A and B are shown apart, each in its own frame.
Chain A
Amino acid sequence: MRAKYVLSEVAVGLWRNVTMTIAMIITMAVSLALLGASVLMFWTVADMREYYYAEVEVAIFLTDEVTDDQRQSLKAALAQDPLVKSQIHETKDEAYARFREQFKDAPDLVEATQPKSLPESYRVKLNSPERFDDIRQKYQAYGGVEEIVDQRAVLQKLFDILGSLQGLSLVIALIQGLAALMLVANTIQVAAYSKRREVAIMRLVGASNWFIQAPFVFEAVFAGLIGALLAFLTLVATKYFLLDSEALRPLFEGVLTPLRWVQIFWMLPLLAAVAALISAITGWITLRFYIKV
């Protein structure tokens, strides 16, 4: 009986105030979707750090006029250097082949690039990537060296961009979340007001606080869960229609580590828990102010 009573009260309450309920659900969904996106970006950056830092190299580009002697002395020095883990020599032809492979989706770019315009290089892996400056100082002066590039610095820029995107979406999620909380508080006040007669009588005849407040709190929690479900579907759609789409996938491939479905699916319980908990707490606090014992 009790469960039936509470459920029917929840349904009636949500329906009576349906425009407010929809506003609450939409705001909540937007906030939660951004929160989910933020968490996913955080995971992606973590994944990428792990993946790229294992792969990352220092590139020592050679000038076009480099001599064989210069190549040999550089190679020997690198081979003996305790900072160097491994080294690969990449000729102009190899560099061009790799370039073509990397940009096979942009034939215009490949077309416009002369095979000879890509520099020859040594690809060096370091034992400790943070000691890049030592390497640069040591080899900058060698004959035939054009430029020494730390690919980690390039990646760092990408991580910085992702990090600020993540921060931005988190900030918007929080602001939207605040708006959602106010809507929850307002919805509950309206619901409590429209049921003030019932509430007054319940108090009078000694209904427990739980019994009086539960329908209102469940209303908020129910709306929160719907919001979480919508947010989850938004994330699924984003992956399916944007990140994985034929048009956009090549843009991200090779740059971003792909977002795995399992990571997306984790968002459902996570967002649902956040939504339910926050709605319940907000509802409960609102009622403490609104319905006195």
Chain B
Amino acid sequence: MIRLEHVTKVYPKAARPSLNDVSVDIEKGDFVFFIGPSGAGKSTIIKLLLREVAPTKGRVYLNGRDVGSLHRWRIPQFRRSIGCVFQDFRLLPNRTAAENVAFALEVIGKSQTVARRVVPEVLELVGLGGKEHRYPHELSGGEQQRVAVARAFVNRPLVLIADEPTGNLDPDTSIEIMRLLDRINRTGTTVVMVTHDSNIVNQMRRRVIEIDQGRMVRDQQRGVYG
């Protein structure tokens, strides 16, 4: 599903590469943690997968597509196969939970009929049934992140990328979000999660890839934060 082949990424003016000759293979339906200290290159991996940046050397494949050589105008279409969740939720404050999710559908040209059918379903799935019409400021952090997950999942992406999704949440709420991601993973969606949260990594016992100073230093099935 995701394959990095000897990927090196050097930003202009950077002293050392953000990623240095990293090769990773992630199967469809996998659940993978990327861990490592700040500045290790984890965010660069996410940017590469979303094709916000192109690799300096090596190749990035997602769903069989060479992401680095994608045409500019094909990138939007490509991104529709990826869902994304962030530490800061990135919800639109002037839209309700349901409208936030619907927004993701509308802007890729889905009809309102589709949105009306799909949005309540996915909000129910993330456990927000009954709170569709609340605005983000009327929801707790955990609930806001659920809205974000619903928005990322509503298009049924092949891959869900989560960039420190529990970074702003307390431990109990974090675990609820992890349960949610686990449930989404069980539907066959590949989940890639970047995190600092050792508790979560240790509890989940999923594959762990550790990055340090741009190099992959560990790739362990059923790993711990260690």
CB contact under 8 A between A211 and B75, given known A197-B90, A200-B90, A201-B92: no
A208 touches B90 (CB 8 A): no
Q: Which residues of B contact A206 (CB under 8 A)?
A: 75-80, 82, 108
A207–B103 Cα distance when bound, in Å, is 10
B72 and A205 contacting across the interface, CB-CB below 8 Å: no
**B84 CB to nearest chain A CB (Å):** 5
Interface check B151, CB cutoff 8 A: yes
Contact A1–B76 (Cβ < 8 Å):
no
Is there contact, CB below 8 Å, between B109 and A205? no
A198 an interface residue at 8 Å Cβ cutoff?
Answer: yes
A1 in contact with B104 (CB, 8 Å): no
Q: Which of A189-213 contact B (CB under 8 A)?
A: 197-198, 200-209, 211-212
Q: Does A260 contact B (CB under 8 A)?
A: no
State the Cβ distance, B161 to closest chain A Cβ, in Å.
Answer: 10
Q: Which residues of B contact A204 (CB under 8 A)?
A: 50, 79, 84, 90
Inter-chain CA distance A202–B151, complex, in Å, is 12
A76, CB-defined interface residue at 8 Å: no
Residues of A within 8 A of B80 (CB): 205-206
Decide: A5 and B76 in contact? CB cutoff 8 A: no
Residue in B75, B104, B151 whose CB lies within 8 Å of A293 = B75
Residue in contact with A202 in the complex, picked from B50, B78, B107, B155, CB distance below 8 Å: B107
For the side of the interface on A, what is the size category? 10 to 19
Q: Does A2 contact B (CB under 8 A)?
A: yes
Residue of B nearest to A208 (CB): B76
Q: Which residues of B contact A208 (CB under 8 A)?
A: 76-77, 108-109
Say yes or no: is B112 at the interface (Cβ < 8 Å to chain A).
yes
Contact in complex: B112, A211 (CB < 8 Å): no
Whether B78 lies near A198 (C-beta < 8 A) is: no
**How far apart are A284's CB and chain B's nearest CB, in angstroms?**
14
Does B38 lie at the interface of the complex (its beta carbon under 8 Å from any beta carbon of A)? no
**Proximity string of chain B (108-119) to chain A, C-beta cutoff 8 Å, 1 when within and 0 when not:** 110110000000
Contact of B76 among A2, A200, A201, A207 (CB under 8 A): A207
Question: With A197-B90, A204-B79 as given contacts, are A209 and B73 in contact (CB-CB < 8 Å)?
Answer: yes
CA distance A219 to B223 in the complex (A): 53
In the complex, chain A residues 125-160 whose Cβ is within 8 Å of any chain B Cβ? none
The reply to whether the CB of B176 lies closer than 8 angstroms to some CB of chain A is no
| Beta-carbon contacts under 8 Å, A8-34 to B | none
Q: How far does the Cβ of B89 sit from chain A's closest Cβ, in whole Å?
A: 11
Contacts of A2 in B (CB 8 A): 109
A205→B92 contact, CB < 8 A: no
A206-B76, A293-B72 are contacts. A5–B106 as well, Cβ < 8 Å? yes
B109 engages A201 (CB within 8 Å): no
Query: Whose C-beta in chain B lies nearest to the C-beta of A202?
Result: B107
Minimal beta-carbon separation of B133 from chain A (angstroms): 20
Shortest distance between the CB of B189 and any CB in chain A (Å): 15
Question: In the complex, are the beta carbons of A209 and B76 less than 8 A apart?
Answer: yes
Contact A203 B79 (CB under 8 A): yes
Kindly report which residue of chain A lies nearest to residue B86, judged by CB atoms.
A204
Also in contact, A205 and B107, with CB within 8 A (given A1-B112, A293-B75): yes
| A201 and B112 alpha carbons, distance in the complex (Å) | 18
A residues near B103, Cβ cutoff 8 Å: 198, 201
Chain B residues, CB < 8 A from A211: 107-109
- Do residues A197 and B79 form an inter-chain contact, with CB atoms below 8 A? no
Partner of A207, one of B73, B107, B112: B107
CB proximity of A213 to chain B, nearest CB, Å? 11
Q: Which residue of A lies closest to B77 (CB)?
A: A206
Residues A168-223 near B (CB distance < 8 A): 197-198, 200-209, 211-212
Q: Which residue of B lies closest to A211 (CB)?
A: B107
Bound Cα distance from A211 to B77, whole angstroms: 12
Q: Would B106 and A1 count as touching, CB distance under 8 A?
A: yes
With beta carbons under 8 angstroms apart, the residue of B73, B75, B155 that contacts A205 is B155
CB distance A205 to B90 under 8 Å? no
Chain B residues, Cβ within 8 Å of A1: 106, 111-112
Q: Which 5 residue pairs across A and B have the least CB separation, nearest first?
A: A206-B79, A206-B80, A207-B107, A205-B104, A206-B76
- List 23 interface pairs A-B (beta carbons < 8 Å), by A numbering: A1-B106, A197-B93, A198-B103, A201-B90, A201-B92, A201-B103, A201-B104, A204-B50, A204-B79, A204-B84, A204-B90, A205-B104, A205-B108, A205-B151, A206-B76, A206-B78, A207-B76, A207-B107, A207-B108, A208-B76, A208-B108, A208-B109, A209-B76
Question: Known contacts A198-B92, A206-B78; can you find 18 more A-B pairs with CB under 8 A?
Answer: A5-B106, A197-B90, A197-B92, A198-B103, A201-B90, A201-B92, A201-B104, A205-B107, A205-B151, A205-B155, A206-B77, A206-B80, A206-B82, A207-B76, A208-B108, A211-B107, A211-B108, A293-B76
